[in-house]
Amino acid sequence: MGLTVAIDTGGTFTDVVAIDHRTGQSTALKVPSTPRDPSQSLIEGVGRALAESGHAAGDLRMLLHGSTVATNAVLEHRFDGLGLIVTRGFRHMIEIARQSVPDGYGNSFFWVKPPRLVPLHLVHEVPGRILADGSELEPIDPEATLQAVAELVEDGVRCIAVCLLHAYANDSHEAAIGRLIAERYPDLFVSLSSVVLPEYREYERAMTTLIDVLVKPYCKTYLGEAAARLSEGPNELPFLIMQSNGGVVTHATAGEKPVTMLLSGPAAGIQGAIHMAQLAGHDDILTFDVGGTSTDVAIIEDRTPAFTSEAMVEHYPVKTPMLDIVTIGAGGGSIAWTDSYGSLKVGPQSAGADPGPICYGRGGTEPTVTDAAMVLGRLPDALIGGALQLDRKAAQAAFGRLAGSHAMSPEEIAAGVLEIAAANQVFGIRRVTTARGRDPGAYAMVAFGGAGGLFGTDVADFLGMRTVISPPDPGNLCALGLHVSDVRRDYITTMVRLQSQAEAEEIAAAWEGLAERGRADILAEGIAPDRIAINRIADMRYFGEGHEVQVPIPEGLSGAEALAHAWKAFHGVHDRSFGFHYEGRQEVEMVNLRVQAVGRQARPPLAPADSGRPPAAPFGTRPVYWRGTGWTDCPLYHRNEFAPGQSVAGPCIVEEYGSTVVVPAGWDCAADAHRNLILTRTAEEVQS
C-alpha cells in the first residue's frame, strides 16, 4: 500500500504527518515554511517524511495538502494587476457595496471603507444584458469586450474577474467572454462569476470572483510546480488539496477555483478532531485549535460539522461553502499590554511569526501569552524536539517590567495574562454554544494546535466542561485531518420561488441536474460509484427576510419528497437559529438549491498504542506557578511513554515534540488505546 503524506502549510511552520498503510505507523514533524515559494517547504516536508519513516520515494502512494497561501494573498493585500469586467451601467458595484458598518453605528464614530480590491479605473463595462429570468435582453459585443480587455492589459492587468448581471441565471455571456479572452490573451488569469459563485446578489458574487482570480496566480503556480516536481518519478503521484468545505479535490480542480482553498488548514483540523474524538468515544465535541495568532473553534454534533456559505476574509465578503468556524484573536503570540486607563489587556495584536514571542530569541520585544507560560514554568526550555530553544530569563525580565507598572509580581501578572487570554477564548466559544442555545458542558473539548494543551483545562473550567481530549501530535492535527477527509464538491443554483407558487417538478429537476453534475465530477476524481453520496440542501427564508437559513435534506430523499421535507423542516431550523418561527403566519420562500457530492475515502489505519508498554514515570520535576497556590514542583512526563489505560493526577506537565499539555490540580489525565490523552475534571467547583 505504501506511504501517504499529508502537509499543512502555515505561516511559520509546515506540518507533516506520514502514515504507512501497511503498518499504521505515523510520523509527525515540522519544517520551516517558505512563503516566497510554498512548493519548496512542501517538497522538503515530503523528503523529511520519507527519511524519518524509512521509506524510498517510490513508496509514496498519495500526497494530501492544505495551505494558507490563498488566505495570505488576501491578508497581505497583493492586489496589483487585478481588473474587473461588469455589465454596462454597473461600474460602481464595488463602491456601492453593502450597507454594513462594523460594530454598528453606535460604536463607530468614523468608518473608512476597506481598500478596494480593484480601483475604479480598472473596472470596465461591456454591453450585453441578461434578465433575472435568464432571458437575453441585449447580446454581447465581442469587439467592445476585446477592446475593454486590451485596455486593462495596457494598464498592467494580468488577472481579470468577469461578473455580469444575472449570470447565475444564464452563463452564456460570461462563457463567451471567457472564450474570447482565452483565445486572444491565453496568459491572463480569468475567473467567471458563473463558475465561481452561480448565486444571486451581485456584490458578494463580484467580491468572491475577484478574490478567486486574485489568488489564482499564487495557487495555480505553486500547485503546478509542486505537482511537476512530485511527478518526476516513474509514476504520477495523486495530489489532493484540502478545501474550506472540509473535503479534498485534485490539485488541478483546486487550481481552477482556488477561492475554495481559503481556511483549508482549520477545516482539516476539524476533520482530524472529529476522527480522533470518535475513536475516543465522543460524537458531540467542541474543537479548540490554538495557534500563534488566533484560536479557531467549531461545534460538532453527531460527528457532523456545521456549514456556512458566508465568511469575511479580513474586510472582504466571501461566499463559498465552508465549515462554520469562529476565529478569535487570541493565541500564543497575543501581546500583553496596558491601556490608557491602566488596565491589563491581551491581544488582539500579535507578535506573529516574525519576530514572535520574546522567549523565541528572534528580536521580539513585547510580552506575549507564550512568554507568560514560560514565566510560569508551563513550557520547557526547548520546543519542536530541541529545534527551538527558549529564553526563560528574557521572558521573566519582560514580565518584570510589565509587573512594575501594576504593583504585582512577575508571576502574578503572567498568571493574569493567561487568565485574560482564556477569558477571550471563552467569549468566542460562547458565540457557537450559548448564543446558539447549546450548553458547552454537554460537549467534550478537543484541544489541539501548538498551544491548545496550554489552555484546554482553563477554558473548560470557565465553561463547565468536564472532558478535554488531547489527540496525538496535537500540533500536527490539521495534517492528520487531511488523511481522514473525503472528496467533496459543492454546487448551487439560484431559484427564488414562493411555496404557494413553486412547481415541484421544476425544483426537483434542478436539484437532480446538480446531483448529476456532482456524481460525474466525483467519478472523475477517481471515486467508485458505490462510494458516492449526494447531500441536498435548500436555502430558505420567510418572505420579506433578507437572509436565508440552510435546510438539510435527509439522505435518501429526492424529488418531490425532498422538497416537501424542506418546506416543513424550515420552520424548525429557523426557530433553532433565531429563537422564533412564523409557521402558518408567514409564507416561505425558496432561494437557492445546493448539492454537496461526497466521495467516501477509506480511513488509514492508525497503529494503536503499545499495550505491553510499562506505565510512564516522571522524567523530572519543574516549579510551576498556579494562581491561588503559588509555586509547586510538578512532575514532568513524556507523552510518548504513556501506556494505554495509564492515569496520572494533576498538577503535572506532559511534554511532546510539538506541544505541551498542562494538567492542573482537580484534573486527571489518562491515555487511551489510540494515543489520545483524556483529561477529566475531578473537582466539583467550576469557574464561571
Q: Find out whether 218 and 73 touch, Cβ atoms under 8 Å.
A: yes
What is the spatial distance between Cα 143 and Cα 84, in angstroms, rounded to a whole number?
17
DSSP 471-521: -SSGGGHHHHHHHTPPEEEEEEEEEEEETTT--HHHHHHHHHHHHHHHHHH
The pLDDT of residue 655:
94
The pLDDT of residue 687:
43
Q: Find out whether 460 and 443 touch, Cβ atoms under 8 Å.
A: no
Is omega for the bond preceding 348 within 30 degrees of 0, making it cis?
yes
What is the spatial distance between Cα 292 and Cα 658, in angstroms, rounded to a whole number?
13
Q: Residue 493 CA to chain centroid, in angstroms?
A: 25
Q: Measured over all CA atoms, what is the biggest interatomic distance in the chain, rounded to whole angstroms?
A: 79
From the list 645, 673, 675, 644, the residue with the least C-alpha distance to 661 is 675
What is the spatial distance between Cα 413 and Cα 664, in angstroms, rounded to a whole number?
19
Residues of the chain with pLDDT under 50: 105-108, 234, 686-688
- Write the single-letter amino acid at 433: T
What is the spatial distance between Cα 101 and Cα 562, in angstroms, rounded to a whole number?
38
What is the spatial distance between Cα 637 and Cα 660, in angstroms, rounded to a whole number?
10
pTM attached to this predicted model? 0.88
Number of other residues whose CB lies within 10 A of the CB of residue 508? 17
What is the spatial distance between Cα 28 and Cα 214, in angstroms, rounded to a whole number?
33
DSSP 36-85: T-HHHHHHHHHHHHHHHHT--GGGEEEEEEEESHHHHHHHTT--TTEEEE
Report the helix count and the strand count for the chain, using DSSP H and E. Answer: 16, 37
* Residue 546: DSSP 8-state: S
Contacts of 650 (CB under 8 A, 6+ apart): 663, 664, 665, 666, 667, 668, 669
Within a 13 Å sphere around the CA of 315, how many CA atoms are in the beta-carbon half?
A: 16
SS3 state at 412 = helix
DSSP 423-478: HHHHHHHHHHTGGGT--GGGSEEEEESTTHHHHHHHHHHHHT--EEEE-SSGGGHH
What is the spatial distance between Cα 556 and Cα 536, in angstroms, rounded to a whole number?
10
Handedness of CA 99, 102, 106, 108 (dihedral sign): negative
- Write the single-letter amino acid at 574: H
Residues in the chain: 688
SS3 state at 285 = strand
Handedness of CA 320, 287, 477, 604 (dihedral sign): negative
Q: Find out whether 3 and 186 touch, Cβ atoms under 8 Å.
A: no
What is the spatial distance between Cα 28 and Cα 319, in angstroms, rounded to a whole number?
34
The pLDDT of residue 306:
86
What is the spatial distance between Cα 20 and Cα 53, in angstroms, rounded to a whole number?
8
Cα Rg for the chain, rounded, in angstroms? Answer: 26
- φ, ψ dihedrals at 294, nearest 5°: -145, 175
From the list 498, 493, 499, the residue with the least C-alpha distance to 515 is 493
SS3 state at 4 = strand
Contacts of 467 (CB under 8 A, 6+ apart): 282, 444, 445, 460, 678, 679, 680, 681
Q: Report residue 76 as a C-alpha cell.
A: 497581505
From the list 686, 675, 662, 678, the residue with the least C-alpha distance to 456 is 662
Number of other residues whose CB lies within 10 A of the CB of residue 302? 6
* Residue 366: DSSP 8-state: S
Q: Report residue 490 as a C-alpha cell.
A: 459543492
pLDDT tens per residue, range 24-33: 899 999 888 8
The pLDDT of residue 6:
94
Handedness of CA 271, 275, 276, 281 (dihedral sign): positive
Between 172-184 and 142-154, two packed helices, what is the crossing angle to 10 degrees? 50
To the nearest 10°, the Cα dihedral for 395, 330, 451, 670?
120
What is the spatial distance between Cα 506 and Cα 393, in angstroms, rounded to a whole number?
71
SS3 state at 641 = helix
Number of other residues whose CB lies within 10 A of the CB of residue 279? 17
- Write the single-letter amino acid at 207: M
Give the CA angle between residues 367, 368, 369 to the nearest 5°. 140
The secondary structure element, H or E, covering residue 316 is: strand 316-318
The pLDDT of residue 235:
55
pLDDT tens per residue, range 132-142: 999 999 999 99
